[in-house]
Amino acid sequence: MELPDALPLYLGAAGLVLAVLALLVSWRAVASVRRLRRRLEGLESGLRRTNEQYQGLSTAAVGSGDQLAKTQQELTRLKSRIEQVAQSAPAPAGYEQAIRMARKGMGAAEIMETCGVGQVEADLIVRLHGPQAGQSQQ
């Protein structure tokens, strides 16, 4: 018979225990949310830095591509000018023979020996008139 008198006390104690448990669960959930928020902020910061680096690299790549195109145009212009000068000035017989040898694929050393030209001249003739001369422009 005392049970009905103690029932409200037991129910109150059970309610208090449930409230404390709910408070603990809520506190842990809030702590987890804070931890996740800090982690998200760190990831967002890393993503921003990566994006800035990507933008910098992208800008540099475009600039390098433009510079390469300008350099190739200048090289083509210079080669054309060298060929014009070479055609307008009468070439000594040694140079004509050296050019023919380069076109046949002979090396700079062989051209030096046969034609009596210097190392730098022979290298230049091989570069301008050798079998690989047309491929360096591509």
Looking at the domain assignment, is residue 40 inside a domain?
yes
DSSP 8-state code for residue 106: -
Buried b (16+ CB within 10 A) or exposed e, 12-46: eeeeeeeeeeeeeeeeeeeeeeeeeeeeeeeeeee
The average confidence (pLDDT) of the chain is: 87
In angstroms, the CA 104 to CA 133 distance is 12
Looking at the domain assignment, is residue 42 inside a domain?
yes
Cβ within 8 Å of residue 117, ≥6 positions away = 94, 95, 98, 111, 125
In angstroms, the CA 108 to CA 130 distance is 10
For the record, the structure tokens of 133 come out as 């001369």
Looking at the domain assignment, is residue 8 inside a domain?
yes
Domain that holds residue 46: 1-67
Looking at the domain assignment, is residue 41 inside a domain?
yes
Report whether 103 contacts 113 (CB < 8 A).
no
- pLDDT value of residue 112: 92
Pick out the chain residues at pLDDT < 70.
Answer: 1-3, 86, 88-92, 134-138
pLDDT (tens digit, 9 = 90+) per residue, 61-100? Answer: 888 888 989 999 998 998 888 887 767 655 567 788 999 9
- pLDDT value of residue 3: 62
- pLDDT value of residue 63: 86
Looking at the domain assignment, is residue 35 inside a domain?
yes
Looking at the domain assignment, is residue 116 inside a domain?
no
